[in-house]
Amino acid sequence: MGLTAGMTLADARALLPDLTVADADPSADAKALAALTEWCGRYSPWCAPDGEDGIRLDITGCAHLFGGEAAMLADAIHRLWRFGIAARGAVADTPAAAWGWARYRRKSASPILGEGETAPLLPLPVAALRLEPGSIDTLGVLGLNTIATVVDLPRGPLTQRLGAAVLGRLDRMFGRAAEPISPHAIAEPWASRLIFPEPIGRREDIDAAAERLTAHLCRAMSLKGQGARRLILRFYRVDGAVQHIAIGTSRPTQTPTHILRLFAERLDQVEPGFGIEAIVLEATEAEPLGATQGALTAAGDIDATDLAGLIDRLQNRLGAARVVQLVPVESHVPERAEVREKAKAPSPFQPAAGPLPLPLRGRGAHESPSTSGRGRGPRSGRVRGPSILKSARPATLLPIPEPIDAIAPVPDDPPLTFRWRRIQYRVAFADGPERIEPEWWRREDQAKPRDYYRVEGTDGRRFWLYREGLYGMVEPPRWYLHGFFP
Amino acid sequence: MGTGAAKIDEALPWGGLTPGLHEIAAAHGDAARAGFVASLLGRRPGPVLWCRSHRTALEAGDPYGPGIARLGLAPDRLILAEAAKPAELLWAMEEGARTKGLAAVVADGVMPDLTAGRRLQLAAEAGQGLVLLLATSRQSAASTALTRWFIASAPSRPEAEGPGRPCWTVELWRCRGGRPREWMVEWDDAALSLSVVAPMADRPLAAAVPVPAGPASGLDGAWPGRDQADRGGQDGGADGTDRRDDLGGRKSAAA
């Protein structure tokens, strides 16, 4: 119709009065191109957006899966056409040659350039070298209009005249210089893919496909002694959308049933839409996994794989931060003496925790009860240093200490009576105080010193109370309940 | 699995706690329950899955590593799981009950109904696991639990100037195939052992009632008279439930 790129709107309207006009939206274009690049992952894991309007794929070793290079390209062009995208494609030895051949070949020419086939490139215009517009103009002024006229020129004068760019592009086109493709997403060495002749949509079909993929991947991984820690299942839909489900495991695994159970919880989220045409399973994180030996472990031993499976299922469904383990930390402030870390299954090679408390992890943070003193008996009243780790600690700790109304007669004495959650308790015995100073080396810690008392109510219930602050300061001390002794 | 005290084991028809559902209750904020449970778990190898809702963790607190180590339960054996919805908690418990190698699944503040309880019981039988339901009072509702316990702190024998060894009254108030019993036990955290002791004459039992501070307080079952009355009513109901449970069990087995 006579419209060309770079035309002014007025000229275009003069040619076509009812022209539809839309503003350019480069960021949306880039996003759409990225989505299309992801879709191209169905052909090859090694694909990247190329400029503003192209996608390049390294199809080394992939073409035979689609019936050869020509069939693969025809399939891609046809599918893109179904999405409403008019695409031109080419297959060549180098990315630069493919770029030029896709854009500047004659309509009748075959899109496939065979191996080592460079002759068809020679008649192409120099623009096929993907040069800056300025260089093309300069070459045009010199009468160098086709690649054939440039390719045999002496290299020295050409570089002097036009800079290194022209020679660099020529070398890339003819394979004399490398032009690596940096892929859109890093290709996973552990992947298995399934492409369906007909799009699938039923849940049973998806389950069966997931089972086949998992079995295939696990077999490949077990041959190399690897286990998966993170897996992604991607679903390529007919309409070009890609959905994915990611799962994580606490220990490397290559057991298909375990992986399938983790995925099964989430397969409901997959919306097949008009159908799924390809599914890819990738292990994005893998770790070496020693050979498993089940027969020699005693019957009473803890089944670590069973336990790992349980932790994985809990973490995948409830959230990793909600399934935690207690890890001791060297701190004398009670609430800092332990942290919660994401639960991990014990390694099969590490002896499982026995019925008695294990020895200390981290110096002194946990005293083994059989050796520790109980902090009973007359005390100096001010306990400092590591010895406080030997003192009694409650079985249950409130995450936030709760203020209580306490009546204590003498400034340094335990309370006689206190009220917590609207119930009044009378104190029969008390032990303390145990002074716990704030950690002054933490700048953010503005806490006051605390005096802890272990008290027993007249009904036998035992509490851990503390008084925050000191008498004689501006603010009077306040009483809190922090934990419960058994 | 023994409870650690021979006299308690003798009273149980299985000679200890058998795999299945057991309910252990105590008054709100009474750590005697945590103490008793930790002392039980300390005797069994393997990790412990401790399930509770976020709200329970905030209100009642969580097991505290340095403290439970004194009860014979190494803190690194605990796996704490938190779920937003009761259904998810029940799911997590069932998954845990099916898993071999766990010492027990402990659920704080979750009361499964009869169907869920039956499911848990079957899962626990399949995995040979122990499921301990921690309750905050003697629940009047029928339960599929094999045993139902009520634990209360008892005044300890004071030592030197402070409270002495932990003492609890352990009441087995319902037991399938057994009789209700009550014991006074003492925990020795040096030897890590539980022993049944005779109630002492000099214990200040008369004062063992918290003074109610207002009309809204005292609802925690702290009044001995009321407890007694409740228990009378519950025992009958529980027996009736038993038969229904068994029927339900046969049905589900047939299905």
Q: Which of residues 164-223 of B touch A (CB under 8 A)?
A: 164, 166-168, 187, 189-192, 204, 207-214, 216-218, 220, 222
* Spatial distance between the Cα atoms of A432 and A393, rounded to a whole number of angstroms: 12
Contact B78 A309 (CB under 8 A): no
- Across-strand partners of B105? B49, B131
* Identity of the residue in A355, A378, A423 whose CB atom sits nearest the CB atom of B43: A355
- Helix (H, G, I), strand (E, B), or coil: what is residue A316? helix
**Poorest-pLDDT segment among A192-196, A392-396, B198-202:** B198-202
Biggest CA pair distance of chain A: 108
Q: Does B11 touch chain A (CB under 8 A)?
A: no
Q: Which residues, 6+ apart, have CB-to-CB distance to A310 below 8 Å?
A: B49, B95, B96, B99, B102
Q: Which of B40, B48, B68 to mutate: most A Cβ within 10 Å?
A: B68
Of B29, B161, B214, the CB nearest to A484: B29
- Is the pLDDT score of A426 beyond 70? yes
Between A271 and A361, where is the model more confident? A271
Model confidence at B165, pLDDT cuts 50, 70, 90, reads: confident
pLDDT in tens, A55-109: 999 888 888 888 889 999 999 999 999 988 889 999 998 889 999 999 898 888 8
Cβ contact B216:A431 at 8 Å: no
pLDDT of residue B23: 92
Residue given tokens 């919805």 in the structure block: B85
Q: Across residues A385-411, what is the average pLDDT?
A: 76
B98 in Cβ contact with B127 (< 8 Å): yes
Checking if the pLDDT of B252 tops 50, the result is no
Beta strands per DSSP E along A37-153: 47-50, 54-57
Q: Which residue, chain included where needed, has tokens 């108030």?
A: B173
B14 vs B141, higher pLDDT: B14
Please report residues of A whose CB lies closer than 8 A to that of B28: 421
Nearest to A328 among B65, B99, B156 (CB): B65
Element (H, E) at B187: strand B181-188
Q: Which residues of A touch B76 (CB under 8 A)?
A: 325-327, 353, 358, 361
A435: amino acid identity, one letter:
R
On the question of pLDDT at A46 being above 80, the answer is yes
Place of tokens 């001791």: A328
**With contacts defined as CB-CB under 8 Å, which chain A residues touch B99?**
306-307, 309-310
- CB-nearest to A486 from B34, B47, B218 is B34
The per-residue DSSP string of A431-446 comes to EEEEEE---TTSTT--
Segment A359-387, tens digit of pLDDT? 333 333 333 333 333 333 333 333 333 33
Tell me how many residue pairs between chain A and chain B have CB atoms under 8 A apart: 273
B109 in contact with A, Cβ within 8 Å: no
Q: In degrees, to the nearest 5, what angle opens at C-alpha B119 toward C-alphas B104 and B254?
A: 135
Distance from CA of A244 to the nearest CA of B (A): 24
Express each pLDDT in A156-189 by its tens digit.
Answer: 888 888 788 888 888 888 888 888 777 766 656 7
Say which residue the tokens 């036990």 belong to. Answer: B185
Q: Note the pLDDT of residue B7.
A: 87
Length of chain B as a residue count: 255
Residue A329 in this model has a pLDDT that exceeds 80 = yes
In this structure, chain A runs to a length of 486
pLDDT in tens, A218-261: 988 888 888 888 899 999 998 888 998 988 887 788 888 888 88
pLDDT of residue B240: 40
To probe the interface with B, which of A265, A407, A429, A465 has the most B CB atoms within 10 Å? Answer: A429
Residue B4 contacts A, CB cutoff 8 Å: no
What are the pLDDT digits (tens) for A272-281?
888 999 999 9
Distance from CA of B199 to the nearest CA of A (A): 13
Distance from CA of A483 to the nearest CA of B (A): 8
DSSP for A291-314, written as a single string: PP--TTS-TTS--HHHHHHHHHHH
pLDDT of amino acid B189: 78
For B28-72, the pLDDT digits (tens) are 888 999 999 999 998 888 899 999 998 888 888 899 988 898 888
pLDDT at A448: 83
Quick check: B161 and A377 CB within 8 A? yes
The yes-or-no verdict on residue B4 having pLDDT over 90 is no
**Contact assignment for B210 to A424 by CB distance below 8 Å:** yes
pLDDT the model gives residue A233: 92
Name the helix (H) or strand (E) containing B134: strand B130-135
| pLDDT at B223 > cutoff 50 | no
CB within 8 Å: B163 and A454:
yes
Residues of chain B positioned with their CB less than 8 A from the CB of A344: none
Residue B156's pLDDT is what? 85
Residue A299 pLDDT greater than 60, yes or no: no
- Please name the member of B91, B163, B214 whose beta carbon is closest to the beta carbon of A429: B163
Q: Is the pLDDT of residue B233 over 80?
A: no
Are the C-beta atoms of B139 and B237 separated by less than 8 Å? Answer: no
| Cα–Cα dist B126/B123, whole Å | 5
Q: How far apart are CA A342 and CA A251, in angstroms?
A: 12
For residues B133 and A179, the model is more confident at B133
**For chain B, how are helix, strand and coil distributed in percent, rounded to 5?**
35, 25, 40
pLDDT band at A445 (very low <50, low <70, confident <90, very high): low
Q: How far is A367 from chain B (nearest CA, A)?
A: 8
Q: What is the pLDDT of residue A392?
A: 82
Q: Do B69 and A398 touch (CB under 8 A)?
A: no
By C-alpha distance, the chain B residue nearest A369 is B70
The CA R_g of chain A, rounded to the nearest whole Å, is 36
Indicate whether A446 pLDDT > 60.
yes
Arithmetic mean of pLDDT over chain A:
81
Closest by Cβ to A397, choosing from B32, B36, B64: B64
Does B77 score more than 60 pLDDT? Answer: yes
Q: Which structure tokens are listed for B8?
A: 């308690």
Rounded Cα–Cα distance for residues A178 and A275 (Å): 40
Q: Would you say residue B234 has pLDDT above 70?
A: no
Q: Do B153 and A353 touch (CB under 8 A)?
A: no
**In chain A, whose CA is at the least distance from the CA of B94?**
A310
Q: Do B34 and A398 touch (CB under 8 A)?
A: no
pLDDT at A213: 93
Residues of A in contact with B192 (CB under 8 A): 356, 369-370
Say yes or no for a CB contact (<8 Å) between A395 and B68.
yes
B149 class by beta-carbon count within 10 Å (0-12 exposed, 13-18 middle, 19+ buried): buried
Cα A300 to its chain centre, rounded Å, is 37
